[in-house]
Amino acid sequence: MKSRMLLSRAGVPGLMLLLLLFIPALSFAAEPVYESMEAFRSSDAYAAFVIDNLWILLAAAMVFIMHLGFATVESGFTQGKNSINVIYKNVFILTAGILTYGVIGFQLMYPGDFNGILGLGGLGIGFDAADPVGMLTPAYGEQMTIYSDFIFQAMFAATAATIVSGCVTGRVKLSAFMIFGTLLLAFLYPVTGSWVWGGGWLDQLGFYDFAGSTLVHGVGGAAGLACVIILGPRLGKYVNGKVRTIPGHSVPLATVGVFLLWFGWFGFNGGSVLSANPAEVSYVFVTTAIAAAAGALAAMLTTRVALKKLDASMALNGILAGLVGITAGADVIAPLSAALVGAIAGVIVVGAILMFDSLKIDDPVGAISVHGVCGIWGTLAVAIFSPAATIGIQLLGILAIFGTTFLFSLGVFAAIKAIMGVRVSEEYETRGLDLSEHGVGAYPNFAMIESSFSTAGSETK
């Protein structure tokens, strides 16, 4: 998404694309010019408005599906004894995120005229029900209703905190995570977002982040890094100076999640065009797909050469790395350049995961590397592969947003630790958070079967 003060590029899926190829792109006035909704419905602009608005809603639904992808990726890449805890956190973040963003986040992120650093347009979504024409979003040239605008943005907001969930899984107190995630969504994410997408100071300087390599993924990665530093590694991860692998319980489940994320990313990037312009939407779809494919192949090759392994989890993270990498410039980077952006991201993610392990920063799903490090790369890639921005301004924006997010997260999570603690006991962690915090395992039938086999084996002996 670009600033709400600008129009951005878009993409359409499947049959919608075939339909929209025959509909010319229309431009609209920057301010509402209709005296009533009836007058607008009878205007020549209404048909295009309906299609644009419908695409934004479809894109929002696709981003919603990404939250199922995040939940299954995190669950699959971590131990089975924590699966219910993972699902619970992800359900909380999505639901609390929508409500929190509706109460305060939306108008913090898009406050209207403000000083460029901090502003609040009021509480709630900001639509006066007594003014039907006012529900059209003026800054987008009446290409969607404010309702569509809100729900699309709300899906993005919840993504940032979901990324943090993967970083801290397996040892964080549920209550501590819930408090931190809510505060991140209520204050940090919308404020840093307003600096660019709300027409703030970074937008005015020319910082470019089309759909959130830094504003969404970078924020999640930076927040996750701060939390992991305070939380510490999982038990048994680093022993006698050596890194021990703690394998996830279901790579197939993680694979389902990654492909759900890839599917949803077409809405994530394609919807960020903020219209159903057929040329722009299809362009973004292509760059998104190419970068993801290149990221996967590059990660496969890197792990084969560097680690002498054919690592499926690295290949999956390579897909996500390519997607994060292209997100900042999906509308301005050429398709062949998108392949290079994705391939470099695929190499970077493998190196970053190994680097954080060497630093004893335990990130069970590789989220800091995928979303944080590759988010930085993708934001810089805009200046390298397109004329849309300069390296200096992109670097300034990265430092400002990553730095602010990291310090905010470090302070808030440290405060939560001092007040109530952020880590479960060793007994809870060893037993698993499903049984310790939720009182039930994710796979009770498998546990019973395993127990019966153990009992039978003992009797035989």
pLDDT (tens place) for every residue of the chain, 461 residues total? 644 443 333 333 333 333 333 333 333 333 445 666 677 777 777 888 899 999 999 999 999 999 999 999 999 999 999 999 999 999 999 999 999 999 999 999 999 889 999 999 889 987 666 665 667 765 556 688 888 999 999 999 999 999 999 999 999 999 999 999 999 999 999 999 999 999 999 999 999 999 999 999 999 999 999 999 999 999 999 998 899 999 999 999 999 999 999 999 999 999 999 999 999 999 999 999 999 999 999 999 999 999 999 999 999 999 999 999 999 999 999 999 999 999 999 999 999 999 999 999 999 999 999 999 999 999 999 999 999 999 999 999 999 999 999 999 999 999 999 999 999 999 999 999 999 999 998 887 765 444 444 444 444 33
The pLDDT assigned to 32 comes to 46
The pLDDT assigned to 365 comes to 96
Hey, what long-range contacts does 337-341 have (CB within 8 A, 24 or more apart)? 337/385, 337/386, 338/286, 338/287, 338/288, 338/290, 338/291, 338/294, 339/290, 339/291, 339/293, 339/294, 340/294, 340/385, 341/291, 341/294, 341/377, 341/378, 341/381, 341/385
Q: Are 366 and 348 in contact (CB under 8 A)?
A: no
- Count helices and strands in the chain by DSSP H and E runs: 20, 2
Superfamily for domain range 14-429: Ammonium transporter AmtB like domains (1.10.3430.10)
Q: Are 85 and 169 in contact (CB under 8 A)?
A: yes
The pLDDT assigned to 26 comes to 33
Rounded to two decimals, the pTM is: 0.88
The pLDDT assigned to 130 comes to 60
Q: How many CA atoms lie within 13 A of 89 on its CB side?
A: 35
C-alpha span between 345 and 172 (Å, rounded): 29
Identify each DSSP E strand in 282-419 by its residue range.
none
Q: Are 261 and 66 in contact (CB under 8 A)?
A: yes
The pLDDT assigned to 22 comes to 36
The pLDDT assigned to 220 comes to 97
Burial (Cβ within 10 Å: 0-12, 13-18, ≥19) of residue 408: buried
Q: Are 117 and 195 in contact (CB under 8 A)?
A: yes
Q: Could you state, in order of their start, the residue ranges of all structural domains in the chain? A: 14-429
